[in-house]
Structure 1
Amino acid sequence: MTSTTDPATRERSRVALVTCDLFPDLWEDDHPLRDTLRARGAEVDVVPWDAAGVDWAAYDVAVIRSPWDYVARRDSFVAWAHSVPKLLNPADVLEWNTDKRYLTELAGAGLPVTPTDFVAPGETWTPPAAGEWVVKPTVSAGSQDTGRYHLPARSAQAEAHVARLNAAGRTAMIQPYLAAVDEVGETALIFLPDARGDLSYSHAIRKGAMLTGPDEGAIKPGSERIDPRTPSEAEHKTAERVLEAVRGGTRRLLYARVDLIPGPDGAPLLVELELTEPSLFLKEGGDAATRRLAEAILARV
């Protein structure tokens, strides 16, 4: 892969940017990518993943961006992904990454993952005696159905949250609330292909704390403040170690986002590895990040 693409190839390129009905014109952060691809001669369509009658084989490449309504229909979403001839990121990666039980695999590989317990339907869960804990489903997006509980005062509410998820056939996950997020925030490192096609660091942002309480109204309105951030050396190394553990290697990936929060000892802990439909914060990454991603897409045509 090179950082430029033959103009004739660009003129032939048909690119689908995959979204959902909730965002028919994409999430606004992806508008620069859409516009840059078109400026380079590509024909770009914004297409909901579940739109009827779409000939996905007619596109040179389909790029997952904002299909954020798939959570309630994950099985259908995964089946759709496997039906698309050329999808980025690839369907097997999406299948693995859309269920957060992948964290067990990464923890087993010796990576510093936030400690997580999983409770499947039919299993029992006894709340910890004390501390602050986060309860959420293993299949979710945008902090949906996520709650923060201070125990033992809210033990009954935490148990009820797990029970609701299980009753709906969903697996719950329970993690300690990492208090450093309140002051330090969460660091999201974004990786994109470089001129050689290797996934490498592009830019990073800081996200402020969002969770305030139980899953009904757990997210403080307007609380997701995003700022550019320069990651620490430890965060860089941790993110790179996480990516080294991705099944099949990273050369298949068009993008990756590694979300980290300091643990009790200050060392970075993995919160999520986002390989499916993450916000890439292209506005914070600037024109260079957008151009880099656009050229990587055209190089995959």
Structure 2
Amino acid sequence: MTDAGDGTWSIGELAGRAGVTVKTVRYYSERGLLPEAGRSGGGHRRYGPGALVRLREIRSLRALGLGVPAVARALEDDGRLADVVAGELRDVARERAALAWRETSLRLLAECDGAERAELLPLLGASALPPETDAVVRFWRRSLPVRLPSALVARVLDEVVPVPPDDPSPGQVRAFALLHGLVSDPRPARAPGPPLRGERYRAAVLYEGLEEAYDLAGAEVLAGRPPGGRGVLDCFAGAYARALGEPDSPTFRRRLVELLGREETTVMARYWKLAVPLLPPERPPLGLLHHHLTEALAELPAAA
């Protein structure tokens, strides 16, 4: 099937060697994916062995699910091939996660009773699969001070916004659906307020101090101890005192306990109840740490 004169093949000969149709060869040729060795006297394309190698590469990549534009990018050079394959792997991971969420969502609907099914059905269809966290981020951004440094905001969001797992349990699918419904409620009172509503304070000082207190409390929890040691409580109360420009005293702590008690909302209690099973187990949730520290601070004066 090789032309004896110059060692090249016609489009039909290349198609026969590759086991594809002439239409397939012409399709990839017209898109610049197959190198031509030249033209015949009549102006017809001629192909060399390199075109056969390239055609087999194209067929392999297409069989792996790559579209023609991705194939074109992949064949530019070896480095680009690695980049394209890495991108395809990310796409496959997203597709697998989406399929896992769809399967688990359907299983959850099949297994729950009628009342729960009626509650979950509109929520499960309200977001993409896997679910996006944009609404949760907006919920928290509404609650944070406007002038809080962006780096500190990012650290807060990293701690409080759950990341959808790739292979969720039915309980996690249920929690994410209910959480999305909670944070998407349009009523203005649904967002948490500032830590000390009605008080004038330096927000960055407060949040940076609380970050340190939560780190200390989290370390105690991971060590198997209650997160209410004297040093942790001093750090916790001191963050509020410094932010408000007041000395940390028994009188201040009594007022602080009253302020924090008034800030306990059913919305935030509900948020953390839903978010806890969705957050990494190696990082104690900030909401629970805050609750335990507030309770420990309230008990401390009575025990003193």
Superposed pair shares fold, TM > 0.5 = no
Using the size of structure 2 for normalisation, the TM-score is: 0.19
**Which has more helix, going by share of residues?**
2
Larger Rg: 2
Using the size of structure 1 for normalisation, the TM-score is: 0.19
